[in-house]
Structure 1
């Protein structure tokens, strides 16, 4: 273990598996203590055990867009570890696929609430919970779908484009003591993205100059860099993590 994050505490949302869990594992390995959140208690309990138990991690189950859950997670983090220094907004949903002209508006409202509006709420709450006094670092997990039109997942992409703008606005508002950045991954091999490559991974990966899809650790490495003091002169930026695919016109 290293101590790049020694003495610091992070909240990572959507972290019972996949990208969120990989970020939490990287932070713990570098000295941080973490609170991980997710909807289902049992996978979250398993994640806490994988992170080394209560000395290193706690889990708070709930919906990422639920204000009461947000309050509970922040309160539990402060009670267990004393402060919230780092925040990673990794929660995101995409329950629909198809043309945006056919989009069910109730589904669109839910996507907006989870992918964009809840990010604002979380940042407001961690700011008021102590970051306004002692500073901190925040990373929002966006998507390359937010960089240009994304047929089939158009409103998901729109919500992630808004998240990128939210990142920039908070960076301007909260500097110099709080840095706010983002990452925009292309297809990463997780359960969330499985429909985009399942059964045709080799064909999908062939579109990428690096000839492979992403894995959660690819995102975790970038996120922990942006959270760390190594990125102390970076704020308001969304780092594209795409294996080069957007250079060739792919997604």
Structure 2
């Protein structure tokens, strides 16, 4: 084991009580599922979200001895700086970053896509992730190592009718993962996860009132739940994935097995 990896793993085990994660967009849905999975494995978490009350409730459920919340918008540079600063002030380190915050405010054909809205989607879904990665790199990971997981989507690796702006942003997220993984190695690992439909308020329009029909497309016979993604993220951040970087893990209940059928 290299000296760098010894430093990263010596006092913490697979995750361990010594490690700290920032999880963006984590007051509910996939982000909360990720935070919950990490807390269950002994990681302390700093979670973000736009709704202050929802964020407080999420912290209460996670455990105020294990989690703190910093409200704000991911696209806001001052908010990102405040999150990293608060993390370092409170815990003195930031081993993990999970870029989950995202938006999808438009539905319709790409030929009619409002370019102004598309820019806002890109700002929130891609540039905010890059901004958080830059900040955690400078604050801790450049010197001490760590791991990042970006939450992409199957919409970023296949055609995504009527949610094209979202799909394009998630394709960019996958490529951002490759770029960061290349530049941050060997100190930090960077991977992404591409979920299919997960049962959250964010994705409700894709399955609400027709869940059985939507789930019938999946060989596993159901839609995803936040815990499915939380477990996958926890693995990619852990030492069990120490030789995995620059990968996009599709977590889709087998959906792509039906491609072309």
- Residue in structure 1 matched with residue 115 of structure 2 by the alignment: 105
| Per-residue CA distance 1:50-81 (angstroms, 9 max, x = gap) | 1111x211100000111100010111111111
- Count of aligned pairs between the two proteins: 248
In the alignment, the residues of structure 2 paired with residue 97 and residue 130 of structure 1 have an alpha-carbon distance, to the nearest angstrom, of 39
Q: Gaps (5+ residues) in structure 1?
A: none
Does the Cα contact within 8 Å between 2:194 and 2:250 map onto a contact in 1?
yes
TM-score, normalised with respect to structure 1: 0.97
- Residue in structure 2 matched with residue 81 of structure 1 by the alignment: 91
In the alignment, the residues of structure 1 paired with residue 156 and residue 40 of structure 2 have an alpha-carbon distance, to the nearest angstrom, of 31
Choose the corresponding residue for 2:14, options 4, 8, 11: 4
Does the Cα contact within 8 Å between 1:3 and 1:30 map onto a contact in 2?
no
Q: Gaps (5+ residues) in structure 2?
A: 1-11
In the alignment, the residues of structure 1 paired with residue 159 and residue 126 of structure 2 have an alpha-carbon distance, to the nearest angstrom, of 18
- Residue in structure 2 matched with residue 226 of structure 1 by the alignment: 236
Aligned-pair CA distance for 1:33: 0.6
In the alignment, the residues of structure 1 paired with residue 186 and residue 13 of structure 2 have an alpha-carbon distance, to the nearest angstrom, of 24
- Residue in structure 2 matched with residue 21 of structure 1 by the alignment: 32
Given the alignment of the two structures, is residue 38 of structure 1 paired with residue 49 of structure 2, yes or no?
yes
Given the alignment of the two structures, is residue 56 of structure 1 paired with residue 66 of structure 2, yes or no?
yes
In the alignment, the residues of structure 2 paired with residue 152 and residue 3 of structure 1 have an alpha-carbon distance, to the nearest angstrom, of 44
User: 4+ residue stretches of structure 1 with deviation over 4 A?
Assistant: none
SS at match of 1:58: strand
In the alignment, the residues of structure 1 paired with residue 91 and residue 39 of structure 2 have an alpha-carbon distance, to the nearest angstrom, of 13
Query: Superposition RMSD on alpha carbons, in Å?
Result: 1.1
TM-score, normalised with respect to structure 2: 0.93
Aligned-pair CA distance for 1:4: 3.2
SS at match of 1:21: helix
